Amino acid sequence: MDTPSWRPDERPRERLLAHGADSLSDAELLAIFLRTGTTGMPVMTMARTLINRFGSLRGLMTASRSQFCDTKGLGTAKYAQVQAAMEMARRVMDEPLRQGDPLRSPDDTRRFLTSRLGTYPHEVFAGLFLDNRHRVIQYRELFRGTIDGAAVYPREVVRQALEDNAAAVIFAHNHPSGVAEPSEADVALTRRLKEALTLVDIRVLDHMVVGHGEVVSLAERGLM
């Protein structure tokens, strides 16, 4: 292992234990995850190189399997570790919105949706289906699209809401660009869905747009 050769200011594990994980840079966190570098490349240098190559820590963690595994120093084992770590994080974030639990706060909903939708490289349209006491019945990813859009069919949304016996629904979709600002198409779609679901006595509580580090609520913007 190359840890003993690190300079005192490049020992991220010791810094984490002394000052907390939030005190570390992206490269330092990645170096702890990687544990070792490769021949001729210390782990901190490797971590910085990987972040530069993928554009960001997020870019690395959400890279496709082929992109990740074909990169020197990574491979299938580390790809599996990344996927497991991300799924554990998602499950921790999901705990406030387990099936049968009521929605506790808009922040819980935002965190849940960010954990579910925030890392997709393509657009995904989802619904959080609720009963009449706003308890979670089911979270469903209904439609998947490309990097800049997903086709959404109101008839299918109504069918799913009825099948789940929902009294209310919160819609959400991600913007892979990272910019959470709702488009005119997002607003128009929300109004069409609201009209269709009103006919079967199902309320649309909100439509949230998930970006990188931000979730915008159409209800809070008065766009419903």
Is domain 100-217 given the CATH code 3.10.129.10 in the classification?
Answer: no
Distance CA 203, CA 68 (A): 42
The answer to whether residues 99 and 113 touch, using CB atoms and an 8 Å cutoff, is no
**Pairing between strand 203-210 and 168-174?**
parallel
Beta strands in the chain (DSSP E): 124-130, 136-144, 168-174, 203-210, 215-217
The answer to whether residues 168 and 201 touch, using CB atoms and an 8 Å cutoff, is no
pLDDT for the residue 4: 46
Average pLDDT along the chain: 86
Q: From its phi and psi, is residue 222 left (phi > 0), alpha (psi between -120 and 50) or beta?
A: left
Q: Using the structure block, give the residue that is written with the tokens 């966190």.
A: 29
Nearest to 142 by CA among 167, 110, 174, 112: 174
Distance CA 85, CA 70 (A): 20
**Pairing between strand 124-130 and 215-217?**
unpaired
Residue 151 vs residue 160, higher pLDDT: 160
Tens of pLDDT, residues 49-88:
999 999 888 888 888 889 888 888 888 988 898 888 888 8
100's tokens? 């049968």
Cβ neighbours of 81 (radius 10 Å):
14
Q: Is the pTM of this model over 0.85?
A: no
> Most confidently modeled of 2-11, 49-58, 194-203?
194-203
**Pairing between strand 203-210 and 136-144?**
unpaired
Q: Using the structure block, give the residue that is written with the tokens 């439609």.
A: 143
Residue 126 vs residue 87, higher pLDDT: 126
Cβ neighbours of 122 (radius 10 Å):
13
- Whether the pLDDT of residue 148 is over 80: the answer is no
- Whether the pLDDT of residue 98 is over 80: the answer is no
The answer to whether residues 207 and 224 touch, using CB atoms and an 8 Å cutoff, is yes
Residue at 126: amino acid letter: A
- Whether the pLDDT of residue 206 is over 80: the answer is yes
Residue 172 vs residue 212, higher pLDDT: 172
The average pLDDT across 132-156 equals 87
pLDDT for the residue 38: 81
What residue spans define the domains of the chain?
3-74, 100-217
